[in-house]
Chains A and B, each alone.
Chain A
Amino acid sequence: MQNNGSEKTKVKVYILGKEYEVPSSLTIMKAMEYAGYRFVRGCGCRAGFCGACATLYRTQGDHKLKAALACQKTVEEGMYLTQIPFAPAEKSKYELRELKPSPNILIQHYPEIAKCLSCNTCSKACPQDLDVMDYVQAALRGDLEKVTKLSFDCLSCGLCAIRCPAEIVPYNVALLARRLYGRYLLKAAPEVEDRISEIKEGKFNEEISELMQMNLDDLKKQYNEREILI
């Protein structure tokens, strides 16, 4: 990789208020490590999936507050950032098997959703660009399907809960909605039921015992030459 030493390959970022010059191609997380920070909190999968590295930042000359995942977002010139490794949020205690998907079930567990102002601050804070306000409104109406569909890619990073003026924790509401939907409302795929019956009948027993007795080389060959159906 060529480094021509030009200033254009580095940008100024401000981590917890202190200025650093970091390569412009790095993600926030890599840039912080480049600057000498060692992560013991606020770092997880490094792949945009776990929601641990929630970050809030502003860029110079722009008053808008922006949100991102440190492991995914590339640094920008004049970025002024801090991390939010944890959002204080109480989760309602429930036994899923004892719940019924009634229209007010979400209100029963999280009555504060009735305080939603429709201000949309939550959606603006979402690093996944989800329609958070829309799913909180759907939760208010007991529309479990809509909450599930809109919140599917939620990482529970906590930024919406930190920013909400009505002190709602949207991701906990969505979690309950998805659990209820998955358990009670989503139709089971008939193929799964069929396959379970087949297994119980012993249709695959011979194949399985064959595999269990195979040596490592043969197993590897089987795996590498397996048929992949798309």
Chain B
Amino acid sequence: MAIELTSDAKHFRDKIAILSGEDVSICYQCGECSASCPYASEMDLLPSTVIRLIQLGQKELINSQCIWLCSTCLSCFARCPQSIDIAKVMEALRQLNLRKQKYNMDLGKISSEDLNRLPQVALIASLRKLSG
């Protein structure tokens, strides 16, 4: 399959660079982030794959499921030999959805019982990452 770096693709790549503040072009695909990520086995795309697809400007990434699984635990950043903060990149992909009101969390679906027993920090953090 041939991937063409259209102007749309370049625009997407640049947008992610600005929003995350990270230069993903220096990633050489060592896979350390994917090996460290505790959610990797549940993700539709591995973190290192996500980085590669950003290098290729693949806008469809904003529809992937893996970006919502990242909990910004920073295992990836701690181990990346190029010091790329992959969590920031995941956050940028989330923000592109959240800023268009495409949330990944519905307050109405949480049971009253759960709301009673959960520590507030869980709800606060969840709302910050999964809703706008």
Q: Is B112 an interface residue (CB 8 A)?
A: yes
Q: List 30 A-B contacts (CB under 8 A).
A: A102-B116, A104-B115, A104-B116, A104-B117, A104-B118, A104-B120, A107-B115, A107-B116, A107-B120, A107-B123, A108-B112, A108-B115, A108-B116, A111-B107, A111-B110, A111-B115, A111-B123, A112-B107, A112-B127, A114-B120, A114-B123, A114-B124, A114-B127, A115-B124, A115-B127, A115-B128, A115-B131, A140-B120, A140-B124, A141-B120
Expressed in whole angstroms, the Cα–Cα distance for A108 and B118 within the complex equals 10
How many A-B contacts at CB < 8 Å in the complex? 31
Residues of B within 8 A of A115 (CB): 124, 127-128, 131
**A81-115 Cβ-contact flags toward B at 8 Å (1 or 0):** 00000000000000000000010110110011011
Residues of A within 8 A of B118 (CB): 104
* B 60-80 contacts with A by CB, 8 A: none
Residues of B within 8 A of A108 (CB): 112, 115-116
**B95-132 Cβ-contact flags toward A at 8 Å (1 or 0):** 00000000000010010100111101001100110010
Other A-B pairs, 13, CB within 8 Å; known A108-B115, A140-B124? A104-B115, A104-B117, A104-B118, A105-B116, A107-B116, A108-B116, A111-B110, A114-B124, A115-B124, A115-B128, A115-B131, A140-B120, A141-B120
Instruction: State how many angstroms separate the Cβ of B107 from the closest Cβ of chain A.
Output: 5
* A 105-133 contacts with B by CB, 8 A: 105, 107-108, 111-112, 114-115
Residues of A within 8 A of B112 (CB): 108
Instruction: State how many angstroms separate the Cβ of A109 from the closest Cβ of chain B.
Output: 8
Residues of B within 8 A of A141 (CB): 120
Expressed in whole angstroms, the Cα–Cα distance for A107 and B110 within the complex equals 11
Residues of B within 8 A of A140 (CB): 120, 124
- Most chain A C-beta atoms within 10 Å of own C-beta, residue among B110, B117, B127, B131: B127
Instruction: State how many angstroms separate the Cβ of A120 from the closest Cβ of chain B.
Output: 17
Residues of A within 8 A of B110 (CB): 111
Instruction: State how many angstroms separate the Cβ of B94 from the closest Cβ of chain A.
Output: 16
Chain A minimum-CB-distance residue to B114: A108
Chain B minimum-CB-distance residue to A115: B127
**B10-48 Cβ-contact flags toward A at 8 Å (1 or 0):** 000000000000000000000000000000000000000
Expressed in whole angstroms, the Cα–Cα distance for A140 and B122 within the complex equals 12
Instruction: State how many angstroms separate the Cβ of B131 from the closest Cβ of chain A.
Output: 7
Residues of B within 8 A of A107 (CB): 115-116, 120, 123
